Amino acid sequence: MSSATSSSASPRGLEGVVAASTRISHVFGEEGRLVYQGYEISELAGKVTYEEVCYLLWHGKLPNASELGQFNQQMRAQRTLPAAARATVRALPNDADPMDVLRTVISAAGVGLGIAGTPTYEQAVALTARFPTAIAMFARQREGKEPVEPRADLGHAANYLYMLTGTAPEDRHTQGLDTYLVLLADHGMNASTFTARVIASTESDLASCVVGAIGALKGPLHGGAPSLVLDMLDQIGDAANIKPWVDNALDHKQKLMGFGHRVYKTTDPRAEILREMARQASTPEFFALAQGTEEYALKELHRRKPDQRLYTNVEFYSASVLHSVGLARDLFPSTFAASRVAGWTAHVLEQLQGNRLIRPQSEYIGPQGLKFVPVAQR
């Protein structure tokens, strides 16, 4: 037999395959809904802090006032990087990709904190609390500045912005970033979450699970596109150029950044929330450019590709919001990771409840029956 034949095609990208049962979150793609532990995302965004969402994802319920106070203290006490992680930041080149830095520093932090054995809730807190510190320390280092130590009197989002700049942030910037962190904290069985659960199923440690998830998120098909939205808007320039620019891009089969989603077949609910945040946080000129581009792009995408059901995704207005709070473009993916680590760790802890090694089969389509030939006769 010279080649294998397939009786049934395997779904590409595991399309439609249910890989796990979870209570943590779910994307209802046809309806344009995202649910965290029973709460619609619209019930949470702008109403709760990122810390409350962490607690929700890890505990299955929102904290009361006393629980939240204790939890905030716990998170704030865990922000300082261990010596091994700080030394790692200093050893890395200033032109490194921030996602490469985050992956490397969190690995070092796992060693420095002694994270080993079966993942625990306490370890989840320890890693989640330190993500912003790692990002901010590198961001300042590459600018030739000393790191800013975390402040225990600031919330998670405010402290992140403070460590980046050394100045207490404006409330509107804190609110914008905090809402962004809430919206991106989890999103069903996405590629990085699945990666974390696969690693967890081998009974590896939590730092390994999280580092693997960072590697998956780095890929531009998962977490690397928001800055490309800003690049696109820069190229368009002003509202008068929207129609010719979009027409030219689509005529030449170029991808419009910030549109389309693997799961959502209608508007991403997070995009709806971020649009209003961008309206409030951006300059009127910038928001007019973004909204005008969105409206015309959707019109043309629906006209030219009616069967593909392309709508605005979370990345389109994430770019506007993160830009408005002062983040450098290349920090967008690592800031995404600083949000999603809550979901990753929640899924790891859930995976270990009745764990079974995730070990799918593959469909072999290569040759068979080949005979060995000595090298001199090949």
Query: Known catalytic residues?
Result: 261, 315
C-alpha to C-alpha distance for 217 and 337, rounded to whole angstroms: 7
- Say what angle helices 50-59 and 156-165 make with each other, to 10 degrees: 130
Match 């914008």 to its residue by tokens. Answer: 176
Distance of alpha carbon 101 from alpha carbon 80, whole angstroms: 17
* φ and ψ at residue 187, rounded to 5 degrees: -160, 55
| d(C-alpha 156, C-alpha 240), whole Å | 40
Residue 220 CB: number of other CB atoms within 10 A?
10
Residue 330, C-beta contacts closer than 8 angstroms, at least 6 positions apart: 97, 98, 227
What are the start-end ranges of the E strands in the chain?
25-28, 33-36, 39-40
User: Which spans in 222-263 are helix H?
Assistant: 226-236, 242-251
Instruction: Assign 155 to helix, strand or coil.
Output: coil
Task: Return all residues near 108 (Cβ < 8 A) that are at least 6 apart.
Answer: 82, 84, 85, 87, 88
